[in-house]
């Protein structure tokens, strides 16, 4: 079954090294917690708020073993007033045997405020 796996994180500064580091940390946790293999990933969409422009966060996938052929795209979030600043969001579509309610959606740093209803249990 194909499932969407959500993830989000924030950075303190609009700096390439921090953006790549936090994006990589988020992706590693999304893959590990959902027991996903790179060859089971159909695509990854990465969006950023308009205050992140130091690099493409999708570049972080290049640091992950087996991700050479995973299609990835970056886009900018719509600029909603009052939204969480310096936020990186990920939508990963992957093949998994997990039921929809058992998918682990990962929110790190200040992004934990986005969807507390989806935070991992336990």
Distance CA 36, CA 51 (A): 31
Structural domain span for residue 16: 2-118
Tell me how crowded residue 43 is: count the other CB atoms within 10 A of its CB: 12
Provide the mean pLDDT of the chain.
Answer: 93
**Residue 34 is encoded by which pair of tokens?**
């959902």
Question: Residue 45 maps to which CATH number?
Answer: 3.30.1330.40
Q: Give, in order, the Cα–Cα distances in Å from 56 to each of 13, 18, 74, 95, 103.
A: 14, 12, 7, 25, 26
- pLDDT (tens digit per residue) in 10-31: 999 999 999 999 999 999 999 9
**How many domains does the chain fold into?**
1
The owner of tokens 């988020």 is 26
Residue 6 annotated as binding site: yes
What digits encode the pLDDT tens for the residues 66-92?
999 999 999 999 999 999 999 999 999
pLDDT at 99: 93
Q: Which residues contact 13 (CB under 8 A, 6 or more apart)?
A: 86
């Amino acid at each position: 079954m194909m499932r969407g796996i959500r993830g989000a994180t924030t950075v303190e500064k609009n700096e390439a090294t921090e953006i790549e580091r936090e994006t990589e940390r988020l992706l590693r946790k999304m893959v590990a917690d959902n027991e996903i293999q790179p060859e089971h990933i159909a695509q990854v969409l990465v969006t950023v708020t308009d205050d992140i422009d130091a690099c493409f966060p999708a570049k972080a996938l290049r640091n992950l073993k087996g991700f050479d052929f995973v299609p990835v795209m970056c886009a900018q979030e719509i600029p909603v007033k009052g939204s969480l600043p310096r936020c990186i969001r990920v939508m990963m579509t992957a093949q998994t045997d997990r039921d929809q309610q058992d998918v682990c959606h990962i929110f790190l740093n200040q992004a934990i405020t986005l969807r507390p209803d989806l935070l991992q249990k336990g």
